[in-house]
Amino acid sequence: MVIAGLFAPILRQNGPPLVPTNQQNRCLPRSCYLHWGKVAASASEITGTSSCWLSWEAEECFAKKKKRNRLSEFSNNSRGSCFVELPILGPHLRFQMKPESGQALFHVALASCFCVATVHTGIFEGVSVQVGYEHYAEAPVTSLPAFLAMPFNSLVNMAYVFLGVYWLRSQARAPGGPAEKWRARYLKDVFAGMALVYGPVQWLRIGMQTRPSAVLDQWLTLPIFAWPVAWCLCLDGGWKPRLLLAVEGLSLCSYSLALLHPRGFELALGLHIAAAVGQALRTQVHHGNSSSGMYLALGVLSCLGFVVLKLCDHELAQWHLFQQLTGHFWSKVCDVLQFHFAFLFLTSLHTCRRCPPAEKMRSSVGRRGL
């Protein structure tokens, strides 16, 4: 339920909560109906479905007469985007959901559900994990509920969610035609979806202190580090969906090392970090500039802080600076920072990279055909 609740439509500042399509939006144009991520042929297909939400970026937008407490208008823009605005007292909120964003979030949700189901089969019962408050330097507060027993270590996980929402709302830029921009946006949104999932999973582990939540936390860490590798490979060799699937599948399978040795997870994580840094350096040499190089350096420093502060949690607690905000807390801060710098690095490479020859040809043909 925690994971499923993350994949609601992404909000864009300027309006109130979206209204269900079956309640107030029956008068919408045919091309602007959304039914679980697909455009419906008519309003009758979604009438009676209270869980459908209108947030589709339609190709054609229509101006509608403003009505009190109902849909106010569809506003056109030069890119064919359709925004939905609802009147409230005060400023408006504006909402936008791109098709590729929904597809990216669906893929992340599907993989996350697979991991949750696999963990609950008990296949990883033999994995060595740390369970219990004694493994953290932050002292639990018994008067608080379990999910806030370690308040700083718990609340810091909200930063992952804020980061994911921020990057989902950001624009993806890439040279070439619409296909290149679609791919860049998909790669970005998958990574943002991973951040959205990882924060609540971390919080679940901190709050519950159970073996399944600890195993899930470890397991989901690996494909997050693998995604920058897959992203860089796409920047180097072009769009290859099967390669993306192979990299992520291999990453998920690598967690089986934790069944073979008590330090198997640490070995797998070390290999992932080395592969991510090595591939990032290679891509930086081929496509990068000074800005992307700075982002890469800051990301590597944040990764180093993430590892060192996590391992030295108890040792650092001897210092006054790390008694309230412990090493574990600051390691999470560094983790969020390395996430952010990875986004900056990879998205900047899209803007300074040149299209492969085949993609240039497809883009030029597409422009001549317009």
Give residue-wise pLDDT tens across range 10-30.
333 333 333 333 434 434 443
Same domain, 252 and 108: yes
Residue 288, both tokens: 């990068």
Cα separation, 205 vs 172, whole angstroms: 33
Q: Residue 278 to residues 10, 22, 66, 183: CA-CA distances in angstroms?
A: 33, 51, 55, 23
- Which two structure tokens, joined as six digits, stand for 88? 């409230």
| Residue whose C-alpha is closest to residue 94's, from 164, 17, 171 | 17
The pTM score is 0.71
Shared domain for 127 and 239, answered yes or no, is: yes
In the chain, the number of structural domains is 2
91 plus 10 within the same structural domain? yes
CATH number at residue 108: 1.20.1070
Q: Within this chain, do residues 159 and 270 fall inside the same structural domain, yes or no? A: yes
List the beta bridge partners of residue 257.
Answer: none
- Please tell me whether residues 55 and 145 are part of one structural domain: no
Cα–Cα distance measured from residue 204 to residue 191, given in angstroms and rounded to the nearest whole number: 20
* C-beta separation of 354 from 175 below 8 A: yes
Domain boundary among 97, 128, 149: 97
Q: Quote the pLDDT of residue 97.
A: 54
Q: Does residue 212 fall inside a structural domain?
A: yes
- Angle of helix 211-237 relative to helix 327-352, nearest 10 degrees? 20
Summarize pLDDT for 114-139 with one digit per residue, the tens.
999 999 999 999 899 999 999 999 98
Distance CA 266, CA 268 (A): 5
Looking at 97, 114, 135, which one is the last position of a domain? Answer: 97
Its domain, for residue 250, covers 99-355
Please indicate, yes or no, if residue 362 is contained in any of the structural domains. Answer: no
Question: Could you tell me if residue 167 is inside a domain?
Answer: yes
Query: Which stretches of the chain are DSSP H helices?
Result: 21-24, 99-119, 151-155, 158-169, 178-208, 211-237, 241-253, 257-260, 264-287, 290-311, 313-316, 327-352, 357-369
Question: Does residue 166 sit within a domain?
Answer: yes
Reading the chain (370 residues) residue by residue, the pLDDT tens digits are: 333 343 333 333 333 333 333 434 434 443 343 333 333 333 333 333 333 333 333 333 433 433 444 333 333 343 444 343 333 333 433 435 567 678 999 999 999 999 999 999 999 998 999 999 999 999 899 889 988 999 999 999 999 999 999 999 988 777 777 888 888 899 999 999 999 999 999 999 999 999 999 999 999 999 999 999 999 999 988 889 999 999 999 999 999 999 999 999 999 999 999 999 999 999 999 888 999 999 999 999 999 999 999 999 999 988 888 988 999 999 999 999 999 999 999 999 987 665 444 444 444 434 444 3
Q: What is the pLDDT of residue 279?
A: 96
Helix H or strand E encompassing 33? none
Q: Which two tokens stand for residue 55?
A: 């947030």
| 75 DSSP assignment | E
Q: Are 193 and 160 in contact (CB under 8 A)?
A: no
Look at residue 156 in the predicted model and tell me its pLDDT: 95
Q: Which residues contact 291 (CB under 8 A, 6 or more apart)?
A: 348, 352
> Which pLDDT score is estimated for 100?
67
In a domain, 178, yes or no: yes
Of the candidates 82, 97, 112, which is a domain's last residue? 97
